[in-house]
Structure 1
Amino acid sequence: MFLTRWRLDHLADASTLALTELVANVVRHVPGRRCTVLILREPYGLRVEVSDAVAGAVVAKAADPLAESGRGLALVEAVTDRWGCAEAAGGKTVWFECDT
C-alpha cells in the first residue's frame, strides 16, 4: 500500500494541472460546458480522459507571447508523458498519461 501511494503521490501535481487545463478548455469552448472525466490507475501510472460532445481534434500550438490564453495544451504536453485526442461518436476525448 505504501509503495503504491508513494508512486502516485509524485504524479499529483502534474496530473492535477493537466486535468485543470483540459476542463478549462471545456468551460471555454464547449457549449453547455459539459464533459465526462475518467481517471484510471494503470500498471504504468495514471491515465486521465476528458470527453465532450464537440467533434474535432485539438492541437497544441505556440501561443503569442503577449496573448492572455492559448498555452493550455502546450502545458499539458510539458507536464505529462503522453497526451492525445481521439474522436468519438458525437464528440471527442482528450487524454493524458503520467508514468510512475
Structure 2
Amino acid sequence: MHLTIGDHSPRHIRRIVRAYLHRWAMTELTDAAELAVTELLANVVRHVPGRSCGVLILRVTNGVRVEVTDTDPRLPEVQEPDRLAEHGRGLMLVEALTDRWGVAPNPPGKTVWFECDAQPGDGTSVRRGVHQ
C-alpha cells in the first residue's frame, strides 16, 4: 500500500494487519504487530514531510514481516527518553514487542521493518526484541 497518512490512519492499518493475521491463522501475533505498526506509522506522521509512506505486510516462513517505507532519509534510533517526555519510546516498544526489527536506507528515504514469529503450540512464549 502506498499512502499519505493522517493522525487516524494507524487505526485503519491496524485493522488490515489484523485481517491478514487472522486469515493466515496467526492471531497470537495480532497485539504485537498492531502496536508495532502503529509506532512506525506514528513516526511517519511526526517526522516525514508530506506523511507519505508505503506499508508492506508479508507472510514469511515463521510468521509475519511488516515494512514501512518513507521518504525521510534520517535513520531512526532507539532513545532513552526522559521519563516525563511525551515522545521517544516508539522504537523501544517495537524492540520489546517483536522478534526482530531493523532499518535500511531506501533512497530517497528508508524502510523500517519488524518481524514477529508465530509460536508453535499455544503462543505463550515470551518475545524479545533484537535490533539488526
Tell me if TM exceeds 0.5: yes
The count of aligned residue pairs is 95
Q: How does 1:1-100 map to 2 (within 5 A)?
A: 5=25, 8-100=26-118
* Same amino acid, percent of matched pairs: 60
1:46-79 per-position Cα deviation (integer Å, ceiling 9, x unaligned): 0000000111221111111011111001000000
Q: Which runs of 5+ in 1 are unaligned?
A: none
In the aligned structure 2, how far is the partner of 1:20 from the partner of 1:72?
9
In the aligned structure 2, how far is the partner of 1:21 from the partner of 1:36?
14
Q: Which has the higher contact order (CA 8 A, sep 6+)?
A: 1
SS in 1 for 2:82: coil
Letter in 2 for 1:91: G
In the aligned structure 2, how far is the partner of 1:94 from the partner of 1:83?
7
1:9-43 per-position Cα deviation (integer Å, ceiling 9, x unaligned): 00000000000000010000000011000000001
Q: TM-score, normalised by structure 2?
A: 0.70
Q: Which runs of 5+ in 2 are unaligned?
A: 1-23, 119-132
Provide the residue aligned with 2:123 in structure 1: none
Q: CA deviation at 1:93?
A: 0.1
CA RMSD, Structure 1 to Structure 2 (Å): 0.8
